[in-house]
Structure 1
Amino acid sequence: MTGRVRVLRVVGELNFGGTEMRTAELLPRLAAAGTELHLVTLSDAVGPGPLADMVTRYGGTVTAMPLDPRFPARFLRLLGQLRPDVVHADCANFSGVPLALGALCGVPGRVAHFRGDDNQHRTLRRRIYRWVCGRLLRISATDILGVSPSSLTFGYHPCWRDDPRCQVVLNGLDLDRLRRPSPDDLRTLIGAGPGDLICVTVGRASPEKRRWLLPPILAALRDRGVSAHAVLVGPGDPADDDRVRAAAAAAGLGDRVHLLGPREDVGGLLRQADVVVHPSCLEGLPGGVLEPVALGVGTVAADLPGVRFIGERLPGVTIVGIDAPAQVWARAVDRAAAFTASTAPAVAADRFVHSVFAIDRAAAIHLEIYRRWASARPGRDLAPRESSRPPVGSGRWER
């Protein structure tokens, strides 16, 4: 390869979310292979989070570009300055907008990446918005990726297998990051006794994460004679945090629900958990399930396609119905905690690195796509590589 591949990646905001963390974990591997990554965030909040520092450390830039009437002109101007080989947008159907602008500027590679299922009820306004953006996406995208089959089915189109641009690119996890120790002893931090069960949940504060279900689950465990604490890790939101605290107070468990906010030592905290509870009702391929399972921590999660996808390939996932009562969740917590107690972390890690979720697999597919389109730009001399892309509908990532 005689030149670097320049990628302009568009994300919603820089925070401790799944899209941002997966991008951050891929960055060292992509940079080492000659990829120059520049980031656009559709929010004026460039932090907190590790991604901004990582991007600049590896030679890229971060541009905050809020969605307002000036966005198209500003994005076009940035495209003219950077002249990227690829625009890679992680914005669901809105990805059609930056990809269409990329097509207008002659960017060879235009990648749409679906991270969630988007299977919620849609108002008329949202259906119109989705149709317009989806139309732009279908016209302008050269590659359409999904983190799971269901993310393409619900996020893009039910007949995605008939579109040769589509493929499933599973999120990879960096186990080295998850192995880093935490500076805190979690039991001491929250005041838990030696025999107390520690339930951890990781995720940002948003309605679909349903964090307020943790206190009723603790109450149901108490009814079963189990003394437990809930630890919530992730960026907070005043309204959502208040709802969690109100649910804890109503259950008489105000001193057993702990909101830690965003943390950079998530792996170190997870390794101290007895069980992870992930009550979210909207996911693609949830890192909040994949991360603890990779560490050998039993995880209870709502019945979603992405959760089933993980559970079919790795042990340690206990699935309950989305609308299951707290008593059902509590029984599932008992089973998941038993898995944690009987699983050696080294065995779980070895199983994970040989699974389809290994990060090197995801990095290889990203590099193949980026290099393919960089070599298509006139004047670029990038040695073509054999594609690692599975045939559409081949079932390589499916059952």
Structure 2
Amino acid sequence: MSVADRASARPRPRTVLHVFGVMDRAGAELRTVDLMRNLDPDRYRFVFVTLTGRPGALAEEIRSLGGSVHPCRLDLGFPVRFLRLLRALRPDVVHSCVATFSGAILLIARAAGVPLRVAHFHSTGDRHGASLRGRVQRAVMRQLIDWFATDLVAVAEATMTSLWRSDWQRERRCRVLYNGLDPAPFERALVTTSPASPASPVVAAAVASTAAAEWRPTIVHVGRPDPVKNRSAAVDVLIALRRRGVPARLRVVGRQDAHESAQLRRRAELGGVADAFDLPGESFDIPGLMAGADLLLLTSRHEGLPTVVLEACAVGTPVLAPDLPGVVEIGRLLDGVTTVPQGCASEAWAEAAAGMLAAPPTSAQRVQALHAFSSSPFVMDQWRRGMTSLWDQ
């Protein structure tokens, strides 16, 4: 058989078309590109459609991995443009990651004759809100999902329950697939990152002792500038901690918005913690960031399965977060997650944080945490197998 004959006999890759708002550096978007890196491009071809009309910061990397990004702004002309795009690309799978609005996406995919149509839920909330109009929109979209989705996937049980139904386990087309991380970068981070804090400091001693007072535990908050991430609450926790005499510093990591950044800096100045507050922007080395931190602070108002919590757990960095269902779900499977009631005062957060900072993890405990994570359901291999089995139906 000639080279040309062998090439023609080779099955074409399955085309999976993902729908997102924009391919910026955020949890679900980063995880999808990470999955793309771990798949054979001869078996799966990734195409992305973005509803904001912007390709996003990850577009260049997607193209370098053999994928493509098609901005398709969500306006009155969207249904016709999207239908034409589907007919031109002829994907085997439409994998929609836009919460309950996936109902409209999958309706158009069905009209285009796409055989596999997946609604993938990444959060416990959507953008429709609690108004009458929002509730009606949500009900309509859920009905469209019910009619036109061949499969429904969620990143956590709580996410499926919140955005779909409490009896979802009775539906054969519903499944929970935890996002997966590759443990290798976190193992390298533990090898190369030396802990910045002493092995077993005590906060009281840090306040009383001149020698120990040089210890400044590092708290990190990772998230985009979105009201859902509630980044201002992290500054309030820092203020409350410093008032308790804990010499902590806070790094709010993530894409910046000029208006929000100015508000956060002003908040820190008014609270007297400007010298302990930093806005370094985005980090491209999350494993290293987590391995060098003493505490991860999550202050989101709602989440699905927050990847940043998994990243902290992978290197044994303690996590303090509200008792969101997805966080509690992670805490049932991995150690190191402490929760406080949603909506509680910053003083309650500070009390919990002070106790956690009093005894940060040792190097041995971090290695033990990585081993536990590597055998958990949150690793890349399990996620890859689950996703490909979905697309190969």
TM-score range, shorter chain: 0.7 to 0.9
CA distance in 1, matches of 2:119, 2:72: 18
In percent, how many aligned pairs have the same letter? Answer: 36
2:80 pairs, out of 69, 73, 84, with 73
Is residue 118 of structure 2 the alignment partner of residue 97 of structure 1?
no
Structure-to-structure mapping, 1:367-386, within 5 angstroms: 367-372=388-393
Highest CA radius of gyration, 1 or 2?
Answer: 2
Mapping of residues 255-266 of structure 1, within 5 Å: 255-266=275-286
> For residue 126 of structure 1, what is the aligned residue in structure 2?
134
Residues 26 and 91 of structure 1, relative CA distance in 2, 3 Å threshold: same
- Deviations 1:115-173 (CA, angstroms, capped at 9, x unpaired): 01118961112112112222211111000001111101111222322322111011111
**Which residue of the other structure, out of 118, 121, 146, is the alignment partner of 1:114?**
121
Contact (CA 8 Å) 1:87, 1:99: kept in 2 or not?
Answer: yes
1:18 equivalent in structure 2:
27
- The Cα of 1:330 is off from its aligned counterpart by 1.6
Query: 1 CA distance for matches of 2:141 and 2:238?
Result: 42
Could you tell which deviates more after superposition, 268-277 or 342-351?
342-351
Q: Does the C-alpha gap of structure 1 residues 178 and 63 become closer, same or farther in structure 2, counting only changes over 3 Å?
A: farther
Counterpart CA distance in 2 for 1:297 and 1:358 is 17
Say whether 1:170 aligns with 2:178.
yes
CA contact (8 A) 2:48 2:68 kept: yes
Deviation at 1:185, TM superposition (A): 10
> Partner letter of residue 46 of structure 2?
L
TM-score, with structure 2 as normaliser:
0.87
| 3-state SS of paired residue (2:74) | coil
Q: d(CA) in 2 for partners of 1:330 and 1:103?
A: 51
Contact 1:206 1:237 in 2 (8 A): no
Separation (CA, whole Å) in 2 of partners of 1:343 and 1:228: 23
Answering whether residue 316 of structure 2 is matched by residue 296 of structure 1, we say: yes
The equivalent position to 2:378 in structure 1, one of 337, 340, 357, is 357
* Structure 1 pair 104–135 and aligned structure 2 pair: CA distance change class (3 A): same
* Counterpart residue type for residue 54 of structure 1: E
Distance 1:228 1:58 in 2: 41
Query: Which residue of 1 is the match for residue 61 of structure 2?
Result: 54
Deviations 1:352-395 (A, max 9, x none): 110011111111011111111xxxxxxxxxxxxxxxxxxxxxxx
- Residue of 78, 89, 99 corresponding to 1:82: 89
> 1:258-337 alignment to 2 at 5 Å?
258-337=278-357
CA distance in structure 2 between the partners assigned to 1:71 and 1:290 by the alignment: 36
User: For residue 149 of structure 1, what is the amino acid of its counterpart?
Assistant: E
Gaps of 5+ in 1: 188-192, 373-399
Task: Give, in angstroms, the shift of residue 186 of structure 1.
Answer: 11
Return 240-249 or 68-77, whichever deviates more: 240-249
Residue-by-residue CA offset, 1:288-335 (whole Å, 9 max, x unaligned): 211111111011011111011011111111111112222221222234
Is the CA contact (8 Å cut-off) linking 1:204 and 1:234 kept in structure 2? yes
1: distance between equivalents of 2:79 and 2:297? Answer: 41
Q: 1:314 to 1:181 in 2, by over 3 A?
A: closer
Q: How many residues align?
A: 365
| Superposition deviation, residue 66 in structure 1 | 1.4
**Residue 226 of structure 1 aligns to which amino acid in structure 2?**
V
In the TM superposition, what is the alpha-carbon distance from 1:57 to its structure 2 partner? 2.3
> Within 2, Cα distance between the matches of 1:177 and 1:21?
15
- 1:350 CA displacement: 1.4
- Work out the CA distance in 1 between the residues paired with 2:67 and 2:234: 40
1:386 maps to none
Q: CA deviation at 1:266?
A: 2.0
The structural deviation recorded for 1:184 is 11
Distance 1:342 1:179, change over 3 A: closer
Q: 1:201 touches 1:278 (CA, 8 Å); kept in 2?
A: yes
| 2-structure distance, mates of 1:17, 1:343 | 31
Q: How does 1:235-246 map to 2 (within 5 A)?
A: 235-246=255-266
Amino acid at match of 2:322: A
For 2:94 and 2:356, locate their aligned partners in 1 and report how far apart those are by CA, in whole Å: 41
- SS of 2:280's partner is strand
Shift of 1:215: 2.2
Contact 2:219 2:293 in 1 (8 A): yes
Partner of 1:27: 36
| 1:55–1:261 distance in 2 versus 1, CA, 3 Å | same
Q: Distance in 2 between matches of 1:91 and 1:318?
A: 29
Cα offset for 1:343? 5.1
Once superposed, which parts of structure 1, at least 4 consecutive aligned residues long, lie more than 6 Å away?
182-187
The TM-score, its normalising length taken from structure 1, stands at 0.86
What is the rounded CA distance, in whole Å, between the counterparts of 2:328 and 2:89 in structure 1?
41
RMSD: 2.3
Does the 8 Å contact 2:94/2:116 carry over to 1? yes
Q: Is the 8 A contact 1:11 1:89 kept in 2?
A: yes
Cα offset, 1:220, TM superposition: 1.9
How far apart in 1 are the matches of 2:302 and 2:20?
18
- Per-residue deviation, 1:2: 3.0
Contact 2:41–2:66 (8 Å) recurs in 1 = no
Aligned counterpart, 2:253? 233
- Separation in 1 of the partners of 2:314 and 2:123? 21
